[in-house]
Every structure is written in structure tokens, then in C-alpha cells.
A and B are shown apart, each in its own frame.
Chain A
Amino acid sequence: MPEISKMKKPDVKVVILGDMNVGKTSLLHRYTERKFRDTISTVGGAFYLKQWGPYNISIWDTAGREQFHGLGSMYCRGAAAVILTYDVTSWQSLAELEERFLSLTDTANHDCIYAIVGNKADLTDPRAQLPADPQSPAEGGEPGTGPRVPSACPTPPASPLSPGSPPQQVGREEAAALYGRVLRYKGLDEGSSLPADRMCFETSARTGYNVDLLFETLFDLVLPSILRKRTENQRSPTVDLEDYCEPPGRRRGCC
């Protein structure tokens, strides 16, 4: 029950950013609830606390709508990882990441790690169409299961639109290129940062394809950040009233 865990203090923060309708909430929902369901547009933001080993990781799901754009930097403040999400069928959604969302991450930790995630891969990649999790197959009976309509995002007219499979607008190379630009924007050295092929994912919240891989890869990568934060806290100047150590007893002399 996530409700109880809300009482706990998160150790580290992961933020999901991306344009509206790319499937941020669905990704989080697939990961936490193991199922896909139609979600409504997120208002403001929401968060979920994940117990990962001995640590609590808070995952912030943000609103992609322009209206809430200003709040993004609040959520990103102190984030240890940012998931930049786009829709593989929408070139525009990838472009938006760079134009609108990248600047929000200015408030994130200096050692924050970035993942570029192309969601809705089931629309373009046959591998992503198989349910990743045999225990919870993709829901069959819900509306929109039949021929799935690709993203409502504007599609450049040049795209060849075959009737069978929707066109993949964004290739892996483009995502990798964006990853490189993100690193440059952050002033990070590409050689010493995590390589693009590890940090670019194509996922499907509908089938669960690569979803666990995405989150769990990130959790493992943010662990050093937690440890660093903990050691910093130990050196905190705040006096911890509960953590009182009796000084070694000294015998009091008479007179």
C-alpha cells in the first residue's frame, strides 16, 4: 500500500518529464500497478513512493500541459534522476523535450542522471507488442485496444503513413543524439557520463515492454546519490536531540 509509505521520508527523487499525452502517468502506473489503464490528464503532479531495498525513492509524475509548466522546476529541484519522455510516433514530442523541458532540469542535482524514454513503442516495434509481464497481460477489453490511434501530436506531413503499422517518427539515433545534447547542455563530458545506449529506452506502458528495465536501471544508478546524501546528512550541523550519546562516565572527584 503506497499510502502508508507516504509517511516515510524519501531518500531520493526521480522525476518524469515530457510533453502532454506521451504517457508519463501510464508508465508510472504500469510500473507500480502492473497494469495499463486509460489515465486522464495529470493535474499539477503526483507522486509515488517506491521501496527499493532499504531506500525510499519518490517518483514524481508531472503534468505535461503547458499550463503547469512553471511547476516543473519545483519538482526537479534536488532530483537525482530525470526521465525525459517522448512519444515514438511524435517527432514533436521529442523536440519539445529539448525546447521546453530541458531547462526545467536546471534545478536538479548536479550529478543528476538523465534517461531519454520513447514510450508507445508497441505502435512501431513488434517486439514491444508482446506482453512483457505474463502475469498481467495487456488489458483486452478496454476502449482503444483495437487499431490503436497514434498520438494526437502533430505529425509532419513528410512521414510515410502505411496503413498496417503506424510510422515511427523518432528513431533511436535521434534519441541518442538528444541524449548527447542533454549532456552538452549540462556541461557534462560525454566520455565520463553514462553512455547513450544505456540511457535511451523505448518502452510501452501498454504492454509493459522495457518498463521495469527503465525504472530499475535508474534506481540502481541513483543509489550512489542516496549514499552520498546520507553521508552529507551525517555531517549536518543540526543537533539531533534523539541521537544523544552519553559521554564516557568520568568519576567525579570529591572537592
Chain B
Amino acid sequence: MSVKAFELVPAVERDLLMGDKARINVECIECCGKHLYVGTNDCFIHHFLLEEVPSQKGGIKYSAQKLQQKYLGLKKPVAELRAASALERLIVLCDGVLFLVDMATLETVPSATGSGGAKIKGVTSFCMNGNPVNTDPFCVEIAVISSRRRTVQVYTVYEDRVQLVKEVTTAEQPSVVSLDGYFLCLALASQYMILNYTTGASQDLFPYNSEERRPIVKRIGREEFLLAAPGGLGMFANAEGVSQRAPVNWSESVIGAAVCFPYVVALDQDFISIHSMLDQQLKQSLAFRDGHILQDFEGKVVLASTKAVYVLVPLPLEQQIQDLLSGDRVEEALVLTEGAQPNIPRDRFQILHRRILQQAGFIQFGQLQFQEAQEYFRKGELDVRELISLYPLLLPPTSSFTRCHPPLHPFADLNHLAQGDLEKVLRCKRFLISYLGSVRGTEASRASREEVDTALLKLYAEQDHESLLDLLASDNTCLLADSSPWLEKHSKFFALGLLYRCNGQDSAALQLWIRVADGELQDSTRPDLYEYIVDFLTFCPNLDLVWRYSDWALKRDPKVGVQIFTKRSSGKDQSGQPMPDDVITYLEKHSPARLLYLEHLVLERRIKKEKFHSLLAVLYLEQVLSLLEGAPPPAPGQLSLARERLQALLRESNLYRVQLLLGKMEGCDQLLLERATLHGKLEDHGKALDILVHQLQDYSSAEAYCLWASSSSSQGAACRQQLLHLLLDMYLGGGAEERRGDLEMAAVDLLNRHGERFDAVRVLSVLPEGWSLQLLKPFLGRAVRTSVHASRTSRLALGLSRAENLQLLHDRLKERKKPILVSEKRGCHLCHNTFSCPDVVCLPGAVPVHTHCIAHRLSDSALNTHADSAPSKHVDSAPNKNSTQNSNHT
């Protein structure tokens, strides 16, 4: 309870009504605009002018001014009063007689001449139709309960007469009536019912003992009534007899009730109870002594005790809601707000509703009910900066945001809210992280993107949150100026670098990162920061930066640093890439890096440029030379590794300057193999083999040389044969006496291994006579095999070619199997004479010629030409009689 929905304001005090006359009581009231009419038990009608005046406390007061009073002269209480303002009439029920008085003068209206008049006799109760069916604005409809029979009559009341419209009888005596359209809602002795007075259709509602308890039938809206039900209930029923709202539980002895949306106001003898129609709960209860009358007039709820009149003034909806909110009764406040929706203009409702939702959100937030809070914030479309501003230092000082006024919550800031409880602060921060994460990027937070991102950044940094880097890696609008001190404070230098990057300050980012990588600043975010920087430079499109900072990277680790150049995209777009020449010049100071870069160019990207190849070969050579000369003998594998690389390059590349390298190698006896290779490159095979055979005595290398040197030649097989013969001659040509045996063995091995590659005839001619057949058996075997193989292969090829040729001929004939026209008017292509007989020969191209002409021609060509192509031509152009077809169509 404890909502203050209404305030009871005195309207007409006792002394103004009856002075000190103790036995005079208020019997009925009517309020029409500012006019208040009070009927008393001494048959007076008092007329007051009721003015609303603002009170000092902010509410309203009423000041009543008595305009007049009128004695009706019947000495009976005035039972009921109803105003018909359009007619300027008051309908008065007094002493069982219903009649009209003038609203202004209170004079009884004389009956119109003729029938009926303006009086109805024998009336116990009446009501006006709140939903008139008559379209004439200058009449009102009333329903009257007659005292004599069990009848209800419906009248139309005009300025000076009443007219009976309908009379219906009921099963029991009705005691209370209410009228809406054609529907009479009646309280009978034992039940309520709805009666359509035109059709006579009736609908029982529910039993109610009207003798035991006072029935109430109150029209509360279009075709809807509020009824007092057994068990102290206020039941709602519509004209169809259906209850569409849950009942309210007021009390057993309710005297009067009214609806002032969204509340049901009920008057009991000693109190007024106010229930919400939205959740059926009792919302407020006001003490009210000697309660007598409760009626609503055009939305204004007026009450009367026996001696005085009061107005029940509803407090503004906003105030009620705020009262609920200040009592942390969020749900109820929202129910009230949403329930009031139909009564508030749409745009105003939206503003109000949003604000209430936001306030509700902050209430839940203050109680650390974050899930609910988030839901309210979302529904209330909270400006997220309202929430951020609660957290000290999160909003950038440049933000133009000022908190909503009046404030949505009573908190100065988070510390105020948490009262120093660090756990609470932490939970609030975690909530903000998740909340900002959820609103980030949505339409709602568009206007405050900078604030949201910056606040998130700060929170992430402070909480050491893993999403910090994700935030910075994505598209963000964090404010650099505001965030950088914060990130520095929390030693998030890597993140700060990322933020610099986001703001296009790559150079600043690099400087910062280098300081971290050098250990000048402490930030353990990325243990592999150096590699990260290298990576960054690798993909950095700004060459200035690359030139500026690569030096540092190369100094630190040339092998990794060189990746800046080697791993740069070698794709099609070379426009933004550094020129290799520039890089090589740049790398002058960093020779290991330069070597790696050249290897990258030559070996990986296979750039065919003499300069790089020569430079790489020279560098390799220098490396080998320095290792050879090295004062401390190098590690065993190192030299051979270096030489292998050199040799491989010398062998595989054709671009380097051979003479330059030969010159550099001059005087170095250890690099004979390399020199042999270089001689080979110069096609000086004799010299090369000489080195290999006589100086190095490395026969397997010599053999390998032959194969290698011939492999690059255009006429591989022939060249190889030549080289092998050269080597064989060198072996057989002898040398020093003591090596003769070795050389001969090498010769035999060579022959036996490469038997098929030699020209056997030539070999046999140079072999010494004394060699045994057994010794050369593998060679001979291979040679013969090769020869036989070659012969058979060529025969096979010949046969296949013939077959193919035949097939082609066949295909061609099939293709061209068309009739060939021969007539007396066509001439032979060879002699240009016409044909006289059907025997012709057809040349390729379906050209018919005389048989004697082709015979002549063939014998000629056989005589003249013996060229290579002749035989095939013969086959090709052989006359084929089968294909000729005689046709003498004409």
C-alpha cells in the first residue's frame, strides 16, 4: 500500500451548508462544471460555485461560494439530483416525485401545456443514460424505478416535459438501476441482471441479496458496470454479462463506488478504499467519518459525509509513479504507467514511459539487480551516458553530456552508491562492461559512440580484461587524448600503441612499442612484441616508417628483422613496396640480413637479375673464404654447409658474372670444385674435367659434372655423350704412371655405368686392346641393348605412324564422300579439256581429272623429284578410283 493516489480536499464545509442546525443532513449531491448542488433532508437545494485554487503546498484547494438555496416545499428529503446541463435543468427526486428545476434559478419548471407534463410520480430511484441512444442533444434519457410495480421505465426528458419511451417489467423489484445505451443494469432483490429494454433480452449476472447488503450498480464506461458482489467484491460486468476484469476486493459494506482510472474508489462508512484495476491491489486507504455519498462527475470524484462535501483529488500520475519509484516499487510503477497509456497522448506517454523505465532501471541497478536493470535500460532506451556518468572518470571531459534533469536516480556516483564496498564497485563495473558491450554498435548508442568506446576501453584496461585488444583491433571510436593517460596509468602500452594506430599515428605506436620491447617500459601483454613489431613493419604500407624503424629491428635480430623485407607481400601490387635495390643498399650495414634478403630474392622469388645473383655468389664466396682463413677453425659442419650453398648457387644460376667469381677464387686451391663448376659455366669443359680428374681426382664428381653440364644444354643427349667421351678420353689418356690403374678403373666404371649413353662404336675404337670382354660386359650388354632397343623403337614408331596415316586417310575419305559431278561441260583441271567418258580420276579436293592426265603427271613427278616428302605425297595424292562416282545428271 501507501501509494498516495488521491487527496481528500474539503469543498463545502459544514457551516456553509447548514450552519449549526444539527438535524440537517446532506442527502444527495450533483456537480456540473463549477456548479455544485446539494440536496438536504429538509427539502432544500443549495447551489454553490466551486472554484479550484492552488494551495501553498502545491496541490489544489476548493473555495465554495454559495449562490443560492431553494426550498422545494415538500418537507421531505431531496433524494436524488441530476443535472442535464444541455437543458439547463436539474432533475430532482423528492418524495417519490421526479420533476425538473431550472439550474440557474432553482425554480420548478412548470409543466408544458397538455399531456404528461414534467413530473413522474411513484419513483424510487432513477439514473441517466451515460450512452444515450437519442441523437437529439436537447434531451436526456433516464431510467426510472417505479415504486408500485416491478417495473422500470425509460423516459426522454426535454426542457419542460418528459416522455415515456419504454416500460419493462422485471421478475423482482429492482432497487438500483444504471443505463447504458439500451442496456439496463439492475440490482434486483436476489441478483443482478442486464436487460435490453428494446429487445427484452435479459442476462442474469450473479446472485446478490439486496436486502442484506446494499447493491451498487455503477456504469464505469461503455457497456461496462461495476457491481458490488458477495464477499466484499467489486465485480466488473459488461453488457453481455461477461467479466473482463478481475474483481477488486473492497469491503462488505461499501456505500458507493466509482472508477477514476486506473483506480476503483469505494466508500465505506469510515474509510475510502482505493484499489488499482490493473493489479487489483489495495493502493490507498483514507479515513473518512460518516461517509454518505461517493459519486463521480465528469471524472471528478465527490464525496459527502452527512454534513460536508469533499473532493477526492487525484494526484498527478507522474507524482504517483514517482512515489512508487521512491519506494522502490518498480513493478507497480510500471503497471500504473502502462495502465494509464490510453489516457495519455501517445507522445507524452512514450516520454513518460521511457523515463519511468529508466528510473526503474536505476533502482534495480542500485540494488545490483543487473539483469532487470539492463532490461529496463534497454526498454527505456536509456542514453547510455547516464549510466557511464555514474562511474567516475569514465566519461571523456570533452563529452557534451549532462545528466538528465530531474535526475533519474539519487546517486552522485558509483562510490556514493557502493558506500565504499569495493566488491559492489567491482560488480557494477563488470555490469557496465557487459552492458556497454551489448549496446555498442546498436542504433541506440550511435550518438554516443565515442563515450561508449572510451568508457569500455578504460574499463577493460582497468579490469585487465581480455577484450581490450579486441576492442582496439576492431573499428572503434575511442578518444585518444582521454584514453592515453588511462592506458599509461594501467601500463597498457601495447594497447596504447594500438590506439595510436587506430588514430593514424603509426609512428607514435612504433616508438612506444620499441620502448616496451627494449624494456624501457613494462607491459607484458605481448611477450613476442619484437616479432609483432617486425610483423607490423612487414605489412606497413608506409615506407618511411619501414626505413625508419627497420634499422632497430635488424640490429636486434637480423634474421627476424629481415622478414620486414622478405615477407612483404610479393603479390602483383608492387607499387607500395620498396625496390629491392633500395633494400640492398639499406641493408649494407646489416650483412647477415643482406645475405638473407638476397637469398630471398634469388632463391625464393627467383628474380633474374645479374646484380643479385653476382652479389649473392660473391657473398657466399666471401663467407667461404673467410671461413677458410678463419683463425679459429670453424665448426666442422659450417664450412661444408657454406660451400654447399655456394656450389649449389654456382651450379644452378646462370646469371652471375663467372669471370668476377673466377677472379675472386684465383689463388685459392681449396675451391677446385667451385672452379670446375665455373669453368663448366663458361663451357670450358676440358678445363673443368681436368680439374676434377687430375687435380681433385674426384671421379664421381667428374661423372656428376658431365651429367650436370649437359643437363642445362639444349641438346642434352648429344652434349652428354660428348662430355662423357671427353671424360673417357681423359681417363684413357692417362696421366702420371702411378695413377694409370686408377684412371682405367674409373674408365671401366664410367663405361659400365653409362653404357647406353656412349657411342659404342666410338668407344670400341678407343679402348685399349688388352681389356677383357668380361670387364666390359655390362657396358657391352647395355650398348647392345640400347641399340636393339632403339632399332625396335623406331620400327614400332614407323609402323604406328603408318597406321595413323591410314586411319587419317580413311577418315578424310569418309568426310568427303560426296558426289563428284562429271559432265561434258566440265573440264579436266590438268589438261582443261572436257570429259568425254565417265572414267575419271579424282584428286584430293574432289577434283576430277582424266585418267590419262594423272598417269602422265605421276610419271613426270616420279622422274623429277626425289625429295624427302615425295613418298608421303604419293600416298596422299594417290588416285583412288573407289571414291569416284559417275554421275551424269544432266
Contact = CB atoms under 8 A, between A and B. Distances in A.
Interface stretch (B167-175, B202-210, B562-570): B202-210
Interface in B180-236: 191, 204-208, 229-231, 233, 235
A44 B230 CA distance: 9
A73 interface: yes
Interface in A44-94: 44-47, 63, 65, 67-68, 70-71, 73-75, 77-78
Nearest to B334: A3
Contact of A71 (B235, B249, B335): B235
A47 B335 CA distance: 15
B334 A45 contact: no
Nearest to B336: A3
B239 to A, nearest CB: 12
Contact of A78 (B240, B279, B331, B335): B240
B380 interface: no
A1 interface: yes
A68 B235 CA distance: 11
Given A43-B233, A74-B205, A3 B278 contact: yes
Contacts of B243: 45, 71, 74-75, 77
A67 B205 CA distance: 16
Contact of B247 (A6, A10, A71): A71
Contact of A7 (B206, B242, B247, B341): B341
Contact of A70 (B208, B334, B335): B208
Contacts of A78: 240, 242
B848 interface: no
A114 to B, nearest CB: 19
Contact of A67 (B231, B240, B248): B231
Given A68-B230, A78-B242, A3 B247 contact: no
A78 B341 CA distance: 28
A3 B206 contact: no
Given A68-B230, A71-B206, A3 B246 contact: no
Given A7-B338, A67-B231, A74-B205, A44 B249 contact: yes
B497 interface: no
B237 interface: yes
Contacts of A47: 245-246
A107 interface: yes
A229 to B, nearest CB: 13
Interface string B235-267: 101001111111111000000000000000000
A108 to B, nearest CB: 11
A79 B871 CA distance: 109
B334 A1 contact: yes
A149 interface: no
Interface string A16-47: 00000000000000000000000000011111
A254 to B, nearest CB: 37
B252 to A, nearest CB: 11
Of A43, A70, A78, chain B has the most CB atoms within 10 Å of the CB of A70
B205 A3 contact: no
B280 interface: yes
A4 interface: yes
Contacts of A7: 338-339, 341-342
Nearest to A78: B242
A203 to B, nearest CB: 23
A70 B242 contact: no
A84 to B, nearest CB: 19
A43 B244 CA distance: 16
A77 B204 CA distance: 11
B242 to A, nearest CB: 5
B217 to A, nearest CB: 14
A10 B246 CA distance: 13
B229 A44 contact: yes
A91 to B, nearest CB: 27
A65 B331 CA distance: 29
Contacts of B208: 70
Contact of B237 (A10, A44, A67, A74): A74
A73 B247 contact: no
Contacts of B334: 1, 3
Interface string B324-343: 00000001001100110110
Contact of B279 (A3, A43, A65, A74): A3
A150 B446 CA distance: 60
Contacts of A71: 206, 229-230, 233, 235, 243, 247
Of B206, B207, B243, B342, chain A has the most CB atoms within 10 Å of the CB of B243
A45 B244 CA distance: 11
A68 B233 contact: yes
B247 A45 contact: yes
A44 B242 contact: no
A46 B235 contact: no
Given A45-B246, A45-B247, A77-B240, A70 B206 contact: yes
A46 B204 CA distance: 21
Nearest to A71: B206
Interface string A222-255: 0000000000000000000000000000000000
B233 A74 contact: no
Given A44-B235, A47-B246, A68-B230, A74 B206 contact: yes
A107 B246 contact: no
Contact of A46 (B206, B244, B246): B246
Contacts of B247: 43-45, 71
A1 B339 CA distance: 13
Given A1-B334, A3-B279, A77-B242, A44 B233 contact: yes
Contacts of A45: 243, 246-247
B339 A44 contact: no
A1 B330 CA distance: 12
Interface string A153-169: 00000000000000000
28 contacts: A6-B278, A7-B342, A43-B231, A43-B247, A43-B249, A44-B231, A44-B247, A44-B249, A46-B246, A46-B280, A47-B245, A47-B246, A63-B231, A65-B231, A67-B230, A70-B191, A70-B206, A70-B229, A71-B229, A71-B233, A71-B235, A71-B247, A74-B205, A74-B241, A74-B242, A75-B243, A77-B240, A77-B243
Given A44-B249, A77-B241, 20 more contacts: A3-B331, A3-B339, A4-B338, A6-B339, A7-B339, A7-B341, A43-B231, A43-B249, A44-B231, A44-B246, A46-B280, A63-B231, A67-B230, A68-B230, A70-B206, A70-B230, A71-B206, A74-B243, A75-B243, A77-B240
Interface of B: 191, 204-208, 229-231, 233, 235, 237, 240-249, 278-280, 331, 334-335, 338-339, 341-342
